[in-house]
Amino acid sequence: MLVSLGGNAILKHGQKGTAEEQAVNVQNTAKHLVALLRRGERIALTHGNGPQVGNILLQNEIAKPTLPPMPLDVCGAESQGMIGYMLQRALRSELESGGLKVAVVTIVSQTLVDADDPAFKNPTKPVGPFYSANEAKQLRESKGWHVVSDSGRGYRRVVPSPTPLDILEKETIIRLFETGTVVISVGGGGVPVIREKNGTIRGVEAVLDKDRTAALLAKTLGVETLLILTDVEKVFVNYGKPDQRALDRVTVQECKKYLSEGQFPEGSMGPKIESAVSFLSGSPGRRVVIASLEMAEEALKGTAGTTITN
């Protein structure tokens, strides 16, 4: 089983982002994950990195007069080290305290994308801090960044979100997973890289959708279950309307219909459902379960969350 942890498993909305807050959240997350391991599940883990890489980018920006800022790919790798460490430490604490001997490691991961991906022509994902109109102009001219007005709150850099094609460290991730190691990988979707014609691998300034990479990893690992843990109990249709309805069990066909109706917002449930469809299509034995962290065990039994199958 691949478990994809949402940002709130590490940092909750409204929190400041201190190391202590994150440690408490991650320890709680670890308790739930160890409960799954105790059921005999073999688990691979991946996670979001939005708030963490956002803070790292902002630190780079604020410290820019003193220190050269790191590009987005390097900041993403930093966030993989940071979150991987916190998860490893918490999981190992929880496992050792419970007398379980299971190895837990983080693999720093690079995700291959295509240099000709159309996303590079149309950057849409806002990253990093807000700028003034003046700063925005300067950054466009000095760095060639795409900096756009963000709904009246100022200007923000936008970067492409290309399609993840391959995980460069997959052989090792598969091998560790198959021998029972809890392997944490492709955090934040992995560091996006392209392969140039001469074989050189180059990091690119882009962001990956973690659930799209999770679907790729789930296929790569050959798991039957992709468990997406997020901050909602279930998937809803007609959300916020009088006829709002929670989905308990839903098919890929229904998901495709709902997607075409625009039922799921782009920034949140949309990519999760698209990733679910991508993982399930043509593979009858698979399922995607979307649930809150607290209800993960129930959801795997089918008594909570939303289960998507063929």
Residues of this chain that bind a copy of itself (CB under 8 A): 16-19, 55-56, 58-60, 62-63, 66-68, 70-71, 73-74, 77-82, 84-86, 88-89, 92-93, 96-97, 103-108, 110, 168-169, 171-172, 175-176, 179, 181, 191, 193, 195, 198-203
- Return the structure tokens found at 132: 């003034």
Told to judge if 125 belongs to the known catalytic residues of this protein, a careful annotator would answer: yes
Q: Which amino acid is at 33?
A: L
Task: Measure Cα distances from 57 to 19, 133, 150, 215, 223 in Å.
Answer: 17, 19, 17, 26, 34
Q: How far is the CB of 216 from a copy of itself (least distance, A)?
A: 18
Told to judge if 16 belongs to the known catalytic residues of this protein, a careful annotator would answer: no
Whole-angstrom distance, CA of residue 310 vs CA of residue 308: 7
C-beta closer to a copy of itself: residue 170 or 212: 170
Contacts 24+ apart (CB under 8 A), 14-21: 17/51, 17/52, 17/55
Active-site pick, 6, 7, 54, 128: 7
C-beta closer to a copy of itself: residue 53 or 304: 53
Told to judge if 84 belongs to the known catalytic residues of this protein, a careful annotator would answer: no
C-beta closer to a copy of itself: residue 55 or 138: 55
Q: Which amino acid is at 210?
A: K
Comparing CA positions, the residue from 71, 68, 85 lying closest to residue 26 is: 85
Active-site pick, 125, 154, 219, 256: 125
Told to judge if 31 belongs to the known catalytic residues of this protein, a careful annotator would answer: no
Q: How far is the CB of 47 from a copy of itself (least distance, A)?
A: 13
Q: How far is the CB of 38 from a copy of itself (least distance, A)?
A: 16
As beta bridge partners, residue 3 has: 45, 227
Told to judge if 272 belongs to the known catalytic residues of this protein, a careful annotator would answer: yes
Q: How far is the CB of 193 from a copy of itself (least distance, A)?
A: 7
Active-site pick, 48, 49, 234, 272: 272
Phi and psi dihedrals of 85, rounded to 5?
Answer: -60, -50
The SS3 of residue 117 is: coil
The catalytic residues are 7-8, 125, 210, 272
